Amino acid sequence: MKSSVNEKTTSKTDTRSATIVRIREAFENAGRILVVSHLDPDGDALGSQLAIGAYLRDLGKSVTMVRDSEIPEKYRFLPGVEGIVEVSSLPDDFAVDAAVVLECPTLARVGSAARYLTDSVKIINIDHHPDALDLGAINWIETTMSSVGEMVYEFFEAVDYDMNSAVATSLYTAIMTDTGRFRYPSTTRRTMEIAGALIEAGADPHHVCDMVYYNMRPSTLNLTGQILHGVEFHFDNRVCLLTMTREMLKSAGAQSSESEGMVDYTLYSRGVVAGALLKEVSDRCTKVSLRARDGVNVAQVAHEFGGGGHFSAAGCQIDLPLAEAKAALLDLLRKAVDERG
């Protein structure tokens, strides 16, 4: 049988500190390390990637941070973000000894950088998604953590890493965005303590919040207006739907990525327990972002369409035109909110 360094381990039985020791050892034993997060990266993906990348460089490693998507404009203020290179810019003979894979439940989420994750590459998988697979040689999966950024902070504290203000800013951004500005139930006392420690280490909470949330392009606000104008309520106002068409993008002069986070508006009104933003991608493809509260499980809804995510925040792609995708989705959302009672 072919041996691989990526023998499966059971993350659930490992304690956090034992896992951290193993990760630290893996870093020490590797010369060239790839750091990668998921397609369509969010603040947690980018902030955690930058922080791990900086730490590994400080360890003296040859580090490559790679991406297979554009970096959303609101995260371009992150210190060192220009150092995350496009996969296509890597040389043909590019190779690494180890790879840190951040919040990718499956390797498909890595995008085309997955081609460098060959059998000889030791994969260190760090994730907080409930549907995370043990895809690495080391799998650190903690689904109760608010963010991978919070996990990376715990790692840094355990290994006594003296982070600079750039790293603190990256991790603060990761945690702030993945907790919905410290609002989601995953936000704990520890999350707040870590946020405080990051401020102490040089993160500026006012600056980070302004750069992420109060720095929109006019086209983004225009697109927001159009999307909100089409708001729909279903099933006694328990489900709120928003829709983004290609026509809206055109008339606002906006990119699709400018709709990031708009799904959150679906939970702004009282009584709503599940919300969705449907994004028309093409005549046969609709992307869906889902949000829920009060015990409604939208991860299950996303799974029905081959997607995934958290209990109360998930996403999927439906290979149907917008109107048909909406009908199929509403059918499942009705079941999801009825199940909760």
> Dihedrals φ, ψ of 244, to 5°?
-120, 115
Alpha carbons 36 and 29: distance in angstroms, whole number = 19
Residue listed under structure tokens 């990376």: 152
Cβ proximity to Mn ion, 58 vs 264, nearer residue: 264
Cβ proximity to Mn ion, 149 vs 275, nearer residue: 149
- Name residue 290's beta-bridge partners: 276, 314
- Least separation, in Å, of the C-beta of 149 and Mn ion? 7
43-58 helix and 165-178 helix, angle to the nearest 10 degrees: 150
| Site stretch for Mn ion (CB under 5 A), options 42-50, 57-65, 221-229, 268-276 | 42-50
- Least separation, in Å, of the C-beta of 148 and Mn ion? 5
Cβ proximity to Mn ion, 178 vs 260, nearer residue: 178
**Count of residues engaged in binding Mn ion, rule: CB under 5 A:** 4
- Least separation, in Å, of the C-beta of 37 and Mn ion? 9
Alpha carbons 15 and 121: distance in angstroms, whole number = 24
Q: Are 237 and 271 in contact (CB under 8 A)?
A: yes
- Least separation, in Å, of the C-beta of 263 and Mn ion? 15
- Least separation, in Å, of the C-beta of 236 and Mn ion? 32
Cβ proximity to Mn ion, 40 vs 178, nearer residue: 178
Residues numbered 224 to 243 that lie near Mn ion (CB under 5 A) are none
Q: Are 293 and 267 in contact (CB under 8 A)?
A: yes
- Least separation, in Å, of the C-beta of 191 and Mn ion? 13
Query: Does 68 interact with Mn ion (rule: CB under 5 A)?
Result: no
DSSP state of 109: G
Q: Are 94 and 116 in contact (CB under 8 A)?
A: yes
Cβ proximity to Mn ion, 54 vs 151, nearer residue: 151
| Site stretch for Mn ion (CB under 5 A), options 44-52, 93-101, 199-207, 309-317 | 44-52
Residues numbered 164 to 203 that lie near Mn ion (CB under 5 A) are 178
Pick the binder of Mn ion from 35, 38, 44, 259 (CB under 5 A): 44
3-state secondary structure (DSSP) of residue 34:
strand
Cβ proximity to Mn ion, 224 vs 312, nearer residue: 312
Window 84-113: contact mask with Mn ion (x via CB under 5 A): -------------------x----------
Alpha carbons 73 and 241: distance in angstroms, whole number = 26
Q: Are strands 232-234 and 239-244 parallel, antiparallel or unpaired?
A: antiparallel
- Name residue 291's beta-bridge partners: 275, 313
Cβ proximity to Mn ion, 249 vs 315, nearer residue: 315
- What type of residue is 180? G
Residues numbered 252 to 271 that lie near Mn ion (CB under 5 A) are none
| Site stretch for Mn ion (CB under 5 A), options 22-30, 38-46, 115-123, 242-250 | 38-46
DSSP notation for 266-322: GGSSTT--EEEEEEEEETTEEEEEEEE-TT--HHHHHHHTT-EEETTEEEEEE-S-H
- Least separation, in Å, of the C-beta of 146 and Mn ion? 8
| Site stretch for Mn ion (CB under 5 A), options 18-26, 56-64, 140-148, 255-263 | 140-148
Alpha carbons 148 and 135: distance in angstroms, whole number = 16
> Contact residues for Mn ion (CB under 5 A)?
44, 103, 147, 178
